[in-house]
Structure 1
Amino acid sequence: MIAKLFARLEELYPEAVQFRRDLHMYPELSFHEVNTPEKVADTLRSLGLDVRTGVGGRGVVGLLTGGKPGKTVALRADFDALPIQDEKDVAYKSRIPGVMHACGHDIHTAALLSVAKVLSEFREELPGNIVFIHQFAEEVIPGGAKPMIEDGCLDGVDVIFGAHVASSIPVGQIGVGEGYMMAAGDSFEIELIGKGAHGAYPHLSVDPLLLGSQLVVNLQQIVSRRVDPLKPAVITCGTFTSGQAYNVIPETAKITGTVRTFHEDVRDLIEEAIGQVAAATCEGAGATVRYTYTRGYPALFNHAEETKRVEELAKVMYGEENVMQLPPSMGMEDFAYYVQKVPGTFFNVGGMNPDIQATYPHHHPKFDVDERSMRGIGQLFIAAVLHYLTDGEVVPERVGTEASVF
């Protein structure tokens, strides 16, 4: 059965490329997606799926009910773009000034729609159900995953799989990892209120610029001296703004930054400690502090059983030499919300290809990936679905070769 599905997926590949390039030419920013979800919903409806739109705001969910009773698997793709000017020299370059798909979400969406088409054609043979989650606003906190979950996209779901194309991994290779794989990402803002004065008379001031400089240094002691060294953490001050004139000591200063952690106890500790350090640094000198800490996405935790399932399937399909263990990353991803609710895993599919200049990092103006990565996403999604629904009875054969990746 799985060979027939892979053959059909290959027949649909040119159509997937066409759909991906259409999305690439007409990208839409997070929380401003209008045409993209309409295109997705229209495609899912044409397959005879039960489709919900406006899920959590702008999300689209399609339900494929198999011909036989069984468990329910969810597959997720995101479809928002970034506020970046596309600088590639390709026919499918973004037509929208200042907006581009610089992270591969167009690849994810087109690949998942191809999977939906293939599985819908074989629905009578499926022992269970598949939920296709097309998510809005992954790139911007608070993201689309959480409101979609609150709106029921995971209702009845037993397990979930997600994939991300990676321009740092050669096309034809798969990256997997178990446990904490992506960090929780939070932000903070500290406003220091001092007393302004002429630069010639510093004794009449309470200098927030000086205190802010001390604070930037003092904050680094939180990770080095308060956090368990076996638990990774990052505090980065990204902006420091104060003053407008060279000879005036300003009244205020503002520092903003990001915090990345994997463990909730460390997250709690750092949130409290930043406030303590800010107060201690400034209040003793006569300045006051306004401190705001905003929590973003939680840490992404890949469950062992589902991760092992994808890893073993990938080794069978592409060979052990093409399956790598990924190290944890301090980047963040709101797929984390899904795997807080149900077991699941999030894996990477290689898209790097120097022959077509697909080597630039994500969020770069010249970002692109090898479109054959859609085959890898599609094949692994189909294999994972069938393997899970049949309790391991359906196992694919080798599909990739050195001459023809994926």
Structure 2
Amino acid sequence: MQRTLLVTSLLLLPLFSHAQSQVDELADALEPQVIEWRHHLHQYPELSNREFKTAEYIASYLNGLGLDVTTGVARTGVVAILDSGKPGPVVALRADMDGLPVPEQNDLPYRSVQTGEFNGQTVPVMHACGHDTHMAMLMGAAKILTDMKDQLSGKVKFIFQPAEEGAPAGEKGGAEIMVQEGVLKSPDVDVIFGLHISANADVGTVRYQPGGTMAAVDPFKIVIKGKQAHGAYPWKSVDPVVTAAQMIMGLQTIVSREVRVIDDAAVVSVGSIHGGNRSNIIPSEVELVGTIRTLDKDARELIYEAMHRKVKGIAESMRAEAELTLPLDYNYPITYNDPALTATMLPTLERTAGKENTILAKAVTGAEDFSFFQEQVPGLYLWVGGKPLDVPEADSPAHHTPEFYVDDEGMKLGVRLLTNLTLDYMQQN
């Protein structure tokens, strides 16, 4: 078996070498256009589930390539299919589309001055997480793969997804809704690839992690009910404030004392506390809101069980009542890179970026709704460097901030990766 795989790999090497050379030439020629797309998209960002003009811009371009284009998927999503006319797998490539309610503070000729409505207020809008680059890179890959259609075997499905940052209050959106609406069907997708630009990783590098690469996210709410009393007579109360304090500390012991942290990181964070209105009144009710992040299915199940146990036990010990809502309003699964797929495509990463620039990275406790696609089909999600080489990592701006910045030069590697992953997977299958 190993000998057969080795012989097959050796036979494919000339094909890979020729295709990569062609991809490199096309990516070099296309780079100015990719940068132009990125600058336009950056200058005119739109909030989640409101990506109407963004969708029109993308759909117009994809129609111009002669692709089979569908709009209005999961409200504003765009899906295009490239059919090689030959039998083979269906490879999906995904980019997210939405901006954030963040005021841009970069002095760029293409800086955003757009506004949108968020939670009933008019807010500035910025691509503060790099989704503008994701769209531009996928548009570039669509162009190159269309130009190389004769070398494809199967179909490519280009997925431009809205609302990755979360749908507005009272709405649904994002990858979960795309899956429910059948984006991975007709034709049935065999594998999906996606990537994220990183403001903290050097231009020219790609980072990968088999298994859990980004965390599941599970928001929660705890409502603690006690008995109100004068602050001078606490013995007449059932104090939900003190109960909340005990509960916050108790929840921290789930990770520190119950999760096997040497295997998988996990987080339980309380981010909001509301209760009371005067210094001398012990209130009747306190509300806690927080988030759980896990990188392992078993750890996620353990924390779910422990949350209920801790909340109930601590409340009873303080003579209070507590109601736990978990998950609160949405939740994302673990962004899980299929280990076999990751191992199979690692040579593509190394050949495209260079072995020295292909980095096995640690998982992160941020979350991504790309995970909903990976629940249905094998997927691989990568990080592509966007930090200028002359900027120290400590000085690079964080994602979701007004100073967020990534270098245009980082996109060419992303275009090449999406293209080569597609070509290589088709040739191997």
TM-score by length of 2: 0.87
Q: Is residue 234 of structure 1 aligned with residue 267 of structure 2?
A: yes
The DSSP-based 3-state class of the residue aligned with 1:313 is helix
| Correspondence for 1:246 among 266, 271, 279 | 279
Contiguous gaps of at least 5 residues in structure 2: 1-17, 116-123
Q: Is residue 36 of structure 1 aligned with residue 69 of structure 2?
A: no
4+ aligned runs moved over 4 Å, structure 1? 354-358
The DSSP-based 3-state class of the residue aligned with 1:68 is coil
Distance 2:427 2:78 in 1: 27
| Correspondence for 1:222 among 254, 261, 284 | 254
Residue equivalent to 1:268: 301
Distance 2:264 2:193 in 1: 27
Kindly provide the amino acid, as one letter, of the partner of residue 302 in structure 1: N
Kindly provide the amino acid, as one letter, of the partner of residue 262 in structure 1: L
Q: Is residue 89 of structure 1 aligned with residue 126 of structure 2?
A: no
| 1:269-323: CA deviation from partner (whole Å, max 9, x where unpaired) | 3223222212222234332212111151111111223323443223223322111
Residue equivalent to 1:147: 177
Distance 1:356 1:301 in 2: 31
Q: CA deviation at 1:379?
A: 0.5
Residue equivalent to 1:199: 231
Do the aligned residues in 2 keep the contact of 1:300 with 1:333 (CA within 8 Å)?
A: yes
The DSSP-based 3-state class of the residue aligned with 2:132 is helix
Residue equivalent to 2:158: 132
| Correspondence for 2:367 among 332, 342, 347 | 332
The DSSP-based 3-state class of the residue aligned with 1:372 is helix
Residue equivalent to 1:401: none
Q: Is residue 367 of structure 1 aligned with residue 400 of structure 2?
A: no
Q: CA deviation at 1:236?
A: 0.9
Moved more, 139-148 or 176-185: 139-148
Residue equivalent to 1:168: 200
TM-score by length of 1: 0.91
| 1:342-376: CA deviation from partner (whole Å, max 9, x where unpaired) | 12211111000165898211112110101122101
Moved more, 138-147 or 208-217: 138-147
Residue equivalent to 2:42: 24
Q: CA deviation at 1:262?
A: 2.2
Q: CA deviation at 1:186?
A: 0.5
Residue equivalent to 2:3: none
Distance 1:344 1:280 in 2: 40
| 1:207-231: CA deviation from partner (whole Å, max 9, x where unpaired) | 1111111111111122233333434
Percent identity over the alignment is: 40
Distance 1:70 1:265 in 2: 36
Distance 2:303 2:356 in 1: 40
Distance 1:161 1:314 in 2: 12
Structure 1 segment 107-118 matched on structure 2, within 5 A: 107-118=133-144
Q: CA deviation at 1:160?
A: 1.1
CA 1:231/1:115 → structure 2, altered by over 3 Å: closer, same or farther?
closer
Distance 2:182 2:64 in 1: 23
The DSSP-based 3-state class of the residue aligned with 1:192 is strand
Q: CA deviation at 1:171?
A: 0.3
Moved more, 150-159 or 70-79: 150-159
| 1:47-93: CA deviation from partner (whole Å, max 9, x where unpaired) | 11111111122211100001433221111110111111111111111
CA RMSD of aligned residues (A): 1.9
Kindly provide the amino acid, as one letter, of the partner of residue 219 in structure 1: L
The DSSP-based 3-state class of the residue aligned with 1:315 is helix
Structure 1 segment 34-73 matched on structure 2, within 5 A: 34-73=52-91
Residue equivalent to 1:99: 125
Residue equivalent to 2:322: 289
Q: CA deviation at 1:341?
A: 1.3
Distance 1:74 1:204 in 2: 63
CA 1:354/1:240 → structure 2, altered by over 3 Å: closer, same or farther?
farther
Do the aligned residues in 1 keep the contact of 2:93 with 2:159 (CA within 8 Å)?
A: yes
Do the aligned residues in 2 keep the contact of 1:196 with 1:206 (CA within 8 Å)?
A: yes
The DSSP-based 3-state class of the residue aligned with 1:341 is coil
Distance 1:193 1:277 in 2: 16
Contiguous gaps of at least 5 residues in structure 1: 393-406
Q: CA deviation at 1:191?
A: 1.0
